[in-house]
Amino acid sequence: MEIFPPSYEHATARDTWAIVARYIPSSDLCAACLVSRKWHELFVPFLWGAPALHFRGDSADVYDALTRFRKILRYSRYWVRELTHTLHLPPAPSEIYYGPERIWLLEVLEYLPKLQSLIVSRLSFFDHDSLLTLDAKSGQSRLDAELRLRTYDLRLLLADREPNTTSVALRRGLLHFPKLVYLDLSYTTSAKDHGVLSALSQLFHLQVLKLRGIGLRDPDADVLARAIGIRVRLLDLRNNLLSDSAIRALMHNCFPPSNHSNDYTFRRMEECQFEWRPPTVPLGSILTSDSMKDEHLDGHFLKQLTMPLDGRSTLEDIPHVGITHLYVADNNISVDGLLGIVGLGMLFVLDCGTIGAARLMKESVSLPASRNKDVSQAEMIPGAERLVTILCQPAGKTLTYLRIHHAMVTSSTQVLKRVGPWSASAPEEEIARDCLIQDLIARRPTIPATDNQSSEGGHLPFLHPSNLSHLKTLILTDLPSSVPSSSPILSSLKRFITACADESLLASLRAQSDYSLPPGRHRAKAEKQHAKSLFALERLILEIRPVSKPSNSSSWSPSGYHNPNSTKSSTGDADSENLWTAAMNDF
């Protein structure tokens, strides 16, 4: 880690080879390393930084490439092996029955002392045996093995979709990586064991945790919440079996107390930035407070952790402030479960998808027209008016990304009173800017009170873009692929999109009217930034519900056979489930 800034000569140096080396083919890099000692020191980091990127062949040759790489490691110089920071092994097909020796993982970690990122997603030989080899030698007692536990400086581990791992191997393997910052065990069903979840309490620097589609239930979520505490910033729990009880467990354990927001440690992120610099580049990549609020936080961490951590900061400097990015879509969570966690005012990103209450509206589409007409909107989406109101309150102003069911926008029956339109084709000098601003402000609706009387007629509060001016990305899910022309969904979407355009224009006009902004050539840039602070929405994404294909004649299968949450074998163990899953389409 650097203590002082780089020298002026180093910061202003323009080494052409260091810039173009990443675009040179592997064979040419190998030849260039043999030219001179200077070229060897210049080009060898690009060969050994992420050596798996230079493996030849397709995914079927992963075993051969890894075997050759292990042989090279045994006689490579130590300072060369220190250059490796990322090892990304491509997915190996399950048809490879004779994989490498079980000590392959131990050899990789021992021979690469500064390995910080290991990507082994869908790798069939990242299994029970390879993880258990990380423990102490078999001749030692269990007490000696625990006292002499060997740890490694791994910061990132992507091990999603690993069917050959077991809960015992994962629990014991995680203890060897206490410095993990990014952990992805999505669709690795053995990770839902309470022993594995409890082992997460030993990862003191964990910031990103993804446990998507592993069958977590409410008791499992309670163990998880107590294990991670307020250390994790990004938590991905999509495609599980969680309910409102799991959300309450997260609220009680994974968010700081209300008085903690005034603490210096909590506010330190607003005042600091973290920088890492690759040895071949004079200036590095910076992780700022805006990056911590961004919807691509996992991408920022992935980018930082797949380069050498050589800079003015360490990952231990990043404070722990609790969950700020929460992904809980495709669970059994209702609107009531989201009210409390949104009301905390700590979330920057929330992905709730088609929440449980909104599924009632989805199911009502299949009802007969006469019966569907009698069902009021308030009955189809209970509690939606409270969620709309809390999103408009200061507690919801921290959100910059929201993915939610389209009913939050399309289920309102409130009709806006239109103000006289203005002519966009008229010259700007003929339109008074102040009058136009007042015209756009007058188009905003007033939010009715959310008492019992306000929803007696099924009228929900209107989710207007002016109340979501802090959002940068809004995703409306589960929109039907086709609706009749008289459907209120079309008019609601048109009204909402038109309102977004009005708010964007209003923000631009207000920025032009702000005389506190600097004049001159920097005026346009300042106006653009100020307009974004007034209305930040950049992306409005409409997710269309997949069209159900007509059922054709097919072979008979038991009920729930194709449901990923149901067991296909009589025993229910992992090996039998994998065998039956692989044979689903044999006949």
Pairwise pLDDT comparison (527 vs 122), residue with the higher score: 122
Residues 219 and 242 in one domain: yes
pLDDT tens per residue, range 146-165? 546 789 999 999 999 998 89
Residues 250 and 103 in one domain: yes
Residue that terminates a domain, selected from 249, 266, 283: 266
Q: Which helix (H) or strand (E) holds 506?
A: helix 488-513
Strands (E), 141-207: 156-158, 182-184
Biggest distance spanned by C-alpha atoms of the chain: 90
Separation CA 305–CA 291 (nearest Å) = 15
How many structural domains are present in the chain? Answer: 3
Residues 356 and 414 in one domain: yes
User: Which residues are registered as beta bridge partners of 87?
Assistant: 118
Pairwise pLDDT comparison (320 vs 432), residue with the higher score: 320
Model confidence at 561: pLDDT above 90? no
Token reading at 558? 């038991």
Model confidence at 383: pLDDT above 60? no
Asked if 396 and 390 touch (Cβ cutoff 8 Å), the reply is: yes
Arithmetic mean of pLDDT, 504-530? 78
Pairwise pLDDT comparison (15 vs 322), residue with the higher score: 322
Q: Is residue 68 part of a domain?
A: yes
Identify the CA nearest to 501 among candidates 475, 464, 476. 464
Model confidence at 279: pLDDT above 80? no
Residues 406 and 517 in one domain: yes
Model confidence at 217: pLDDT above 90? yes
CB-side exposure of 495: number of CA atoms within 13 Å?
A: 21
**Paired sense of beta strands 274-276 and 285-287, if any:** antiparallel
Q: What percent of the chain has pLDDT over 70?
A: 69
* Composition of the chain by helix, strand, coil, percent to 5: 45, 10, 45
Pairwise pLDDT comparison (336 vs 519), residue with the higher score: 336
pLDDT tens per residue, range 325-359? 999 999 999 888 888 888 888 899 999 988 764 45
| CATH number of 114's domain | 3.80.10.10
Helix (H, G, I), strand (E, B) or coil at 538: coil
Output the pLDDT for position 159. Answer: 94
Enter the DSSP assignment of 315: G
Please, which pLDDT band fits residue 120 given cuts at 50, 70 and 90? very high
Separation CA 130–CA 148 (nearest Å) = 19
Residues 460 and 533 in one domain: yes
Output the pLDDT for position 420. Answer: 40
Output the pLDDT for position 70. Answer: 86
Separation CA 381–CA 136 (nearest Å) = 56
Residues 152 and 168 in one domain: yes
Q: Which helix (H) or strand (E) holds 404?
A: strand 401-405
Model confidence at 547: pLDDT above 80? no
If you average pLDDT over every residue of the chain, what do you get? 77
How many angstroms separate the first and last alpha carbons of the chain? 59
Q: Is residue 306 part of a domain?
A: no
| DSSP assignment string, 413-464 | -PPP-PPPP--TTS-GGGS-HHHHHHHHHHTSPPPPP-SGGGGTTSPPPP--
pLDDT tens per residue, range 76-112? 899 989 999 999 988 876 655 566 788 899 999 999 9
| Residue 544 backbone phi and psi in degrees, to 5 | -90, 135
Identify which of 216-220, 564-568, 571-575 has the greatest average pLDDT.
216-220
**Paired sense of beta strands 473-479 and 208-210, if any:** unpaired
Q: What percent of the chain has pLDDT over 90?
A: 28
Residues 160 and 40 in one domain: no
Any idea which of 305-309, 350-354, 412-416, 438-442 has the lowest mean pLDDT? 412-416
Residue with tokens 């294909």: 549
Separation CA 298–CA 286 (nearest Å) = 15
Model confidence at 521: pLDDT above 80? no
pLDDT tens per residue, range 493-513? 888 898 898 888 888 888 887
CB neighbour list of residue 245: distance below 8 Å, 6 or more residues apart: 218, 221, 222
Asked if 333 and 355 touch (Cβ cutoff 8 Å), the reply is: yes
CB neighbour list of residue 517: distance below 8 Å, 6 or more residues apart: 511, 523, 526, 527, 530
Any idea which of 131-145, 312-326, 463-477 has the lowest mean pLDDT? 131-145
Separation CA 207–CA 210 (nearest Å) = 10
Please, which pLDDT band fits residue 549 given cuts at 50, 70 and 90? low
Residues 72 and 209 in one domain: yes
Asked if 214 and 191 touch (Cβ cutoff 8 Å), the reply is: yes
Q: Is residue 179 part of a domain?
A: yes
Identify the CA nearest to 461 among candidates 477, 476, 453, 449. 449
Q: Is residue 248 part of a domain?
A: yes
Token reading at 499? 């309102």
Residues 224 and 195 in one domain: yes
Q: Is residue 579 part of a domain?
A: no
Separation CA 407–CA 392 (nearest Å) = 16
Asked if 128 and 164 touch (Cβ cutoff 8 Å), the reply is: yes
pLDDT tens per residue, range 42-68? 888 888 888 887 776 555 567 777 888
Output the pLDDT for position 147. Answer: 44
Residues 103 and 14 in one domain: no
Pairwise pLDDT comparison (195 vs 410), residue with the higher score: 195
Residue that terminates a domain, selected from 266, 283, 308: 266
Residues 22 and 63 in one domain: no
CA-CA-CA-CA torsion for 406, 412, 415, 418, nearest 10 degrees? Answer: -40
Enter the DSSP assignment of 220: H
User: Which residues are registered as beta bridge partners of 184?
Assistant: 158, 210
Please, which pLDDT band fits residue 239 given cuts at 50, 70 and 90? very high
Token reading at 357? 């209450």
Output the pLDDT for position 59. Answer: 56
Q: Is residue 67 part of a domain?
A: yes
Provide the residue range defining the domain that includes 18: 7-48
Arithmetic mean of pLDDT, 521-535? 81
Separation CA 224–CA 137 (nearest Å) = 31
Output the pLDDT for position 313. Answer: 56
Please, which pLDDT band fits residue 242 given cuts at 50, 70 and 90? very high
Model confidence at 439: pLDDT above 70? no
Enter the DSSP assignment of 311: B
Residue that terminates a domain, selected from 266, 289, 318: 266
Output the pLDDT for position 397. Answer: 82
Token reading at 362? 């989805």
Q: Is residue 564 part of a domain?
A: no
Please, which pLDDT band fits residue 413 given cuts at 50, 70 and 90? very low
Q: How far is CA 356 from the centre of its chain?
A: 21
Separation CA 411–CA 404 (nearest Å) = 13
Residues 400 and 257 in one domain: no
CB-side exposure of 233: number of CA atoms within 13 Å?
A: 25
CB neighbour list of residue 366: distance below 8 Å, 6 or more residues apart: none
Q: Is residue 308 part of a domain?
A: no
